[in-house]
Structure 1
Amino acid sequence: MTSTDHDIKVLNSLIETTIDSAEGYGEAAKDAENTRYAALFQQRAAERRQVASRLQQQVASLGGKPEDDGTVLAKAHRMFVELRSKMSSKDDTAIVDEVERGEDHIKHKYEDALKDTDVSAGTGSVINEAYVSVKSGHDQMRDLKHALHATK
Structure 2
Amino acid sequence: MSGDKHDIRVLNGLIEGLIDSADGYAEAAAEAGDQGYKAWFQARADERRRLADDFKTAVRERGGDPEEDGSILAKAQRAFMDVKSALLGDSASVIGSVEGGEDHLKARFERAMADEDLSATTRETIRRAYAVVKEGHDQMSALKHSLDARRDADNPLYPK
Q: TM-score range by the shorter chain?
A: over 0.9
TM-score, normalised with respect to structure 2: 0.89
Letter in structure 1 aligned against 2:56:
Q
> Is the aligned partner of 1:30 residue 2:27?
no
1:39-58 equivalences in 2 (<5 Å): 39-58=39-58
> Is the aligned partner of 1:80 residue 2:44?
no
Letter in structure 1 aligned against 2:5:
D
1:1-150 equivalences in 2 (<5 Å): 2-73=2-73, 76-88=74-86, 89-150=88-149
Cα pair 2:3 2:117 within 8 Å, conserved: no
Whole-angstrom CA distance in 2 between matches of 1:131 and 1:116: 14
Letter in structure 1 aligned against 2:93:
A
> Residue deviations 1:15-43, cap 9 Å, x none?
01110110010000001011111111001
- RMSD (CA atoms): 1.2
Whole-angstrom CA distance in 2 between matches of 1:22 and 1:41: 9
TM-score, normalised with respect to structure 1: 0.94
Runs (4+) of structure 1 exceeding 6 A deviation are: none
Aligned length: 150
> Residue deviations 1:94-147, cap 9 Å, x none?
010111000000000100000000000000011011111110110000000011
Shift of 1:151: 1.0
Rg (Cα) greater in structure: 2
Residue ranges of structure 2 left out of the alignment (5+ in a row):
152-160
Percent of paired sites with the same residue: 47
Cα pair 2:25 2:44 within 8 Å, conserved: yes
Whole-angstrom CA distance in 1 between matches of 2:59 and 2:65: 7
> Residue deviations 1:48-71, cap 9 Å, x none?
000101111100100100111112
Task: State the secondary structure of the residue aligned to 2:16.
Answer: helix
Whole-angstrom CA distance in 1 between matches of 2:71 and 2:141: 25
Residue ranges of structure 1 left out of the alignment (5+ in a row):
none
Cα pair 1:22 1:49 within 8 Å, conserved: yes
1:114 to 1:78, Cα distance in 2 relative to 1, 3 A: farther
Letter in structure 1 aligned against 2:91:
D
Whole-angstrom CA distance in 2 between matches of 1:77 and 1:10: 21
